[in-house]
Amino acid sequence: MEQHFEIIIIGGSYAGLQAALTLGRARKRTLVIDSGAPCNRFTPHSHNFLTHDGAVPASIAMAGRQELAAYPTVHFLEDKALTARQTGNGFEILTAAGQLYQAAKLVFATGIRDIFPDIPGFAACWGKTVIHCPFCHGYELRDQPTGVFGPADAIFDFSKLLVNWAHDIILFPDGAASFTEEQLAKLQQHQIRLVTVPVQTILQEGGRVRAVQTADGQQFPLNALYARIPFEQHCDIPAHLGCKLTNTGHLEVDAMGKTSVEGVFAAGDNTSPMRSVAMAVMRGQMVAAAITHDLAHATF
């Protein structure tokens, strides 16, 4: 396969595939390198993406890959980028298969990796009934007894949103349960219960939450649990290239997806807490347009 491209996109899920589609339509020689581990692979159905509401996540990506096949300047490679280095006129990527590829511009559409708490049952339910986003899964789990797990401040704010979808809500703060008098009054006003004993286990069957058990042995029957959990960048290459991170741990980008390193762009979950397929697609298209503009200005 060819080794020199105008653009290399690392990460070929929603953000990366959309960037590739837009670049292919702009006739740019583009390589997509993807290691096949999108963050939503744990969820059986993806919601809230127009024309694909309720689709199996991998089927959305596969449809994208099939559409890319119509564009001869776009190549898709199943491999993992290991390192990147700056060269005189761009960047060189080394992959796990031992191949080297060069390009003038890089796009990181590499997503983030959720860090699960060490709670038995959590991983089995993640993406099914232990979920991160009510816009993605709240409708399917509406009006169910619902828990919220995470840092106290985050879950208090989250509970304001959640009353759109559930009315029987219990908060399980992870760590110090420091709520103000005002916050406690609000919780009471909305009949949101607060359990300050640490969560010990999620009792579940086949990914369906049945109850949360706390360290004192009490069980709280639930059918859904929202979790605000930490994350890390899925790929550390941007950091090694010198790309700045925000204080939330996302790659710092401008409105068009340019990172702090000239020639390096980023799109999707790795740049923003607004996490959805539609948002990733939007950001993928944005960087592709920005790169096409940059290359046009440089060569006109």
Ligand X SMILES: Cc1cc2nc3c(=O)[nH]c(=O)nc-3n(C[C@H](O)[C@H](O)[C@H](O)COP(=O)(O)OP(=O)(O)OC[C@H]3O[C@@H](n4cnc5c(N)ncnc54)[C@H](O)[C@@H]3O)c2cc1C
Stretch that binds ligand X, among 46-54, 115-123, 142-150, 242-250 (CB under 6 A): 46-54
* Eight-state DSSP code of residue 39: G
| 11 is a site residue for ligand X (CB under 6 A) | yes
Minimum Å gap between C-beta 193 and ligand X is: 25
Q: Taking Cα atoms as reference points, which of 19, 214, 165, 1 lies closest to residue 9?
A: 19
Question: Which one, 174 or 269, has the nearer CB to ligand X?
Answer: 269
14 makes contact with ligand X (CB under 6 A): yes
**Cβ 207 to ligand X, closest distance in Å?**
11
Among 131, 7, 156, which residue's Cα sits nearest to residue 74?
7
x/- contact string, 47-66, with ligand X (CB under 6 A)? xxx-----------------
300 vs 72, 214, 295, CA distance in Å? Answer: 23, 65, 8
Q: Are 32 and 75 in contact (CB under 8 A)?
A: yes
| Displacement of CA 290 from its chain's centroid (Å) | 22
Question: Which one of residues 159, 257, 268, 286 is an interface residue with ligand X (CB under 6 A)?
Answer: 268
C-beta of 49 vs 165, nearer to ligand X: 49
**Token duo for residue 47:** 């919601």
Q: How far is the CB of 153 from ligand X (least distance, A)?
A: 22
Task: Determine which residue in the list 40, 129, 159, 204 makes contact with ligand X, applying CB under 6 A.
Answer: 40
Packed helices 14-25 and 277-299: angle between N→C axes, nearest 10 degrees: 40
- Residue with the two structure tokens 């089927």: 59
Query: Which residue ranges make up the site for ligand X (CB under 6 A)?
Result: 10-16, 33-40, 42-43, 46-49, 80-81, 109-111, 114, 126-127, 132, 136-137, 234-235, 268-269, 275-278, 280
